Chain A
Amino acid sequence: MRARQILVIGVLFLLVLGSTEAFPGGRRILTLWYPAGEITQSTLPLRDPTVFAPFEATNNVKIEMVAVDYDTMQQKIFAAAAAGNIADILFIDTSWLPGFLKENLLEQVDPAKAKRWLASVSPEIATLSDYGGGTMWGYPQMGHDIYGLTWNKQHFKEAGLDPERPPQTWDELREYCRRLVKRDAAGNIIRVGYAIRHVGHPHGVVHKHLWAIWGAGADLIDNPNALRGGRAMFNNEGGRAALKLVLDMLNVDKCTSLNFPDPRAAFLSGIASMQISETVSIRARQPREAPNMPWSTGWGMWLPPARKKGDKPVTLLGAWLFSVPKASRNKELAWKAIEWLNSEVNDYRLAAKFNLTPRYKSNWAKEPFKSDSYVQTLLKMGPYGRRLPINLGLNGIMDALGGAIQKAWHGEASVEAALAEAERLANKAIQDAMK
């Protein structure tokens, strides 16, 4: 009998303890899901448990930040939405947006607030925010995620190139590449002039070559803001030229190689002199992986080269969005928390604290951003950024184009045949997505 009493008291104690944990001080709880690990630098503020402290104190709420594995995060969000048990705030990759919109999963930002936001942030942030006619599905992260050319200044000096002047055109890129490549006594390449991404997920392959595809006048789809319909726009003269550029570097100039499949790792380990990818990634990894190659004196960063002199360079601008799912149980409070986090004051405070770039135009002119050469370079690159289209068939378009790039560069199909097949697959994906 005594044992049973102890058991009952124990269970009651656990229940009381559990309830106080779930509702600390009677406060409401908001959950926020963000990607775990070093997927994006913009998660840095979210890894700080005190980031929402002032908001929590004034709104009698506790914001629980949950790190979710990136590789399965999209699926987890979807499964949680289908089960009706999803986080109140989601920090999502914009490439997931079409699928989420197809399933009517996200709340739209209030149009009046969207208008105010678009008017006060820098142009590239407005580009990332606006999905046509001022429609916003969330607030983009702080911290520019722009693709750029990075180069090793020491290698430039060794090759007799001006370390402060990156290649401006495709011809210059090829010439620099030829001068920077290094071979051993047997003629094998031991350092590529320019490293290319040609393996792994097809989306990654496309992301790292969009600068050339866009720069040559080709595109992924005819209308980047249309959710449904449209047609692929890369099987044309521009698309073919973009793929041939690398093919010529591989086969004619022999200054790059398929044997250096991870451009960022190759660049940071000194076996690639130039590469094009997310600049923020090089910035984050360099102190750890290449401490002797500091920003400004060791490596430089600028826009990818334009096709020819006088052309406007173009590059990929990526972002993660703070958004609210329709199935959130605390929508009003969730929006309030997001708006607080993305206010002008907090944009400045958090960007400065976590060494990220701000979003508000007014904040760019303040210290420490004003005198930070890295930040100012990003600011100059921003206006040349372009975001991914929103089409529901985007996944299939990227798969098809990524496959074509791989086939062409691996010499398994001509550029023409690879792009023609990819165009057919991409158009089918667009049609399938409309069903």
Chain B
Amino acid sequence: MYRPQKWILQAIQRGYRRHYVHAYLFISPVLLVFGLFRVWPALQTLYFSFYRVELASHRLVYVGLENFIDLFHDDIFLGAVINTFLYAFAIVPISAAAGLILAVLFNERFPAKELLKGVYFAPMVTSTVAAAVVWWWLYNPQYGLFNAILRLLHLPPSPWLLSTKTALLSIVLFSIWKTVGYNMVIYIAGLQAIPSEFYEAATIDGASSIQQFWRITVPLLAPVTTFILIYNGIFAFQVFDQVLVLTGGGPANATNVIVLEIYRQAFQRYRFGYAAAEAMVLFLLILIITIIQFRTSRRFEVTY
């Protein structure tokens, strides 16, 4: 009869004493769900990326690196990568900077402050699709609010979403509006954690408000800024909903982004293996950028 080795029994007993078993039991539902709906599909995507996949008929043909090689000769995918980078590099710093400015303003006392804070945060809790539909109308060249304002200011109307030159910019503007409230709230929390003694000492030393902002606020908020950059960066690379609703990737692929391209290849052209390869490239891009951001951020770690 099989008897478990003594060290195994000891390990279980030790785990029991230290409550490891209980802890794992408690988190096991989450681990199970996470594994089933996150880890397993991710591994399956990696697997599919080396195959030509016909999902409905369950037919898989091994093609090695063919999908990845094709990707680098695909102008539309490369265009989508460039658009995604342009989008991310525009939205992440602008949205973070705007959030910081708003947070500093909201750190002061003034009437209706909480109401205004709610107004700025509201887009964050609004459905992206619903908000994008409203913005589609705001961008309408004939009836839209934005062109009405331009006309009032005697400025020429803009084609907004209708031109390859302005469409991506229009999506960036929408996304900034959508994310700035979240960044503001995170920065407000960061600002409230900075001890007031720093500002008092700086005031006694004769530092102006601007100097205090650059020499105290910005450096001490570095960990918050790092979090915001990483968080917004990851989401920026995954942009999809607003692009699908506002432009569908057009005009002429001018706003096509990686996730939309994955969606098109998988669910409109039924090239699941190829779409899986695109998803792996996106995963690698996000991973590399996150590692760079983490490493860079270590330089700005602060304790107070």
Contacts and interface: CB of A to CB of B under 8 A. Distances in A.
Contacts of B159: 258-259, 410
Interface stretch (A27-35, A305-313, A344-352, A401-409): A401-409
Contacts of B264: 395, 399
B178 interface: no
Given A105-B56, A395-B268, A407 B248 contact: no
B141 interface: yes
Contacts of B252: 402-404, 406-407, 410, 412, 418
A154 interface: no
B164 A410 contact: yes
A255 to B, nearest CB: 16
B163 A410 contact: yes
A407 B79 CA distance: 15
Contact of B251 (A99, A406, A433): A406
A412 B165 contact: yes
A78 B267 contact: yes
A406 B250 contact: yes
A37 interface: no
Contacts of B274: 432
B253 A403 contact: yes
B142 interface: yes
B141 A407 contact: no
A198 interface: yes
B268 A201 contact: no
Interface residues of B, number: 32
B251 A403 contact: yes
A409 to B, nearest CB: 9
B303 to A, nearest CB: 49
A260 interface: yes
Given A103-B55, A103-B57, A258-B162, A395 B141 contact: no
A202 B250 contact: yes
Interface of A: 74-75, 78, 81-82, 99, 102-105, 198-202, 258-261, 271, 327, 395-396, 399, 402-404, 406-407, 410, 412, 418, 425, 429, 432-433, 435
11 contacts: A201-B248, A261-B162, A395-B268, A403-B250, A406-B164, A410-B162, A410-B163, A412-B163, A425-B76, A432-B269, A433-B269
Given A258-B141, A399-B253, 18 more contacts: A74-B267, A82-B55, A82-B56, A199-B162, A199-B250, A199-B251, A200-B250, A201-B248, A201-B250, A259-B142, A260-B142, A261-B142, A399-B264, A410-B162, A412-B164, A412-B252, A425-B76, A432-B271
CB-CB nearest 3 A-B residue pairs: A403-B252, A406-B251, A103-B56
